[in-house]
Amino acid sequence: MKKVPLFIEGEFCQSATNDWIDVTNPATNEVIAQVPCATEDEMQRAIANAGEVFKSWKETPVSERARLMMRYQALLKEHHDEIAEILSQETGKTFEDAKGDVWRGIEVVEHAANIPSLMMGETVENVAREIDTYSYTQPLGVCAGITPFNFPAMIPLWMFPMAIAAGNTFILKPSEQDPLTPTRLAELFEEAGAPKGVLQVIHGAKPQVDKLLTDPAIKAVSFVGSVPVGRYIYETGTRNMKRVQSFAGAKNHMVIMPDADKQQVISALVGASVGAAGQRCMAISVAVFVGEAQEWIPELKEAMAKVRPGAWNDSGASYGPVISGKAKDRIEQLIGQGEQEGARLLLDGRGCTVDGLPDGNWVGPTLFAGVKPEMSIYKEEIFGPVLSCMEVDSLGEAIDLVNQSPYGNGTSLFTSSGGAARRFQHDIDVGQVGINIPIPVPLPFFSFTGWKGSFYGDQHAYGKQAVKFYTETKTITARWFSSEAVSGPNFSIQMR
Q: Which residues are part of the catalytic machinery?
A: 281
Report d(CA 446, CA 461) in Å as an integer.
Answer: 9
**Three-class DSSP category at 346:** strand
Tell which residue, 436, 431, 385, has the closest CA to residue 407.
431
Cα–Cα distance, 412 to 256 (Å, whole number): 9
| Rg (alpha carbons) of the chain, rounded to whole number | 25
* 407 neighbors 253 (Cβ within 8 angstroms): no
Residue 187: how many CA atoms within 13 Å on its side-chain side? 13
Alpha-carbon distance 158 to 160, whole Å? 7
| DSSP code, position 101 | H
Q: Cα torsion for 483, 484, 486, 490, to the nearest 10°? A: -120
Give the other-Cβ count within 10 Å of 265's Cβ.
23
Q: Cα(477)–Cα(128) distance, rounded to whole angstroms? A: 10
Region of residue 291 (phi > 0: left; psi between -120 and 50: alpha; otherwise: beta): left
Q: Do residues 6 and 202 lie in contact, with contact meaning Cβ atoms separated by under 8 Å?
A: yes
Between the alpha carbon of residue 155 and those of residues 107, 127, 185, 333, the distances in Å are 12, 43, 11, 29
Give the ranges where 31-176 is alpha helix by DSSP (H). 40-57, 62-78, 80-91, 95-112, 115-118, 154-165
The DSSP output letter for 293 is G
Tell me the three state secondary structure of residue 442.
coil
CA 394 to chain CA centroid, Å, is 33
DSSP conformation letters of 23-65:
EEETTTTEEEEEEE---HHHHHHHHHHHHHHHHHHTTS-HHHH
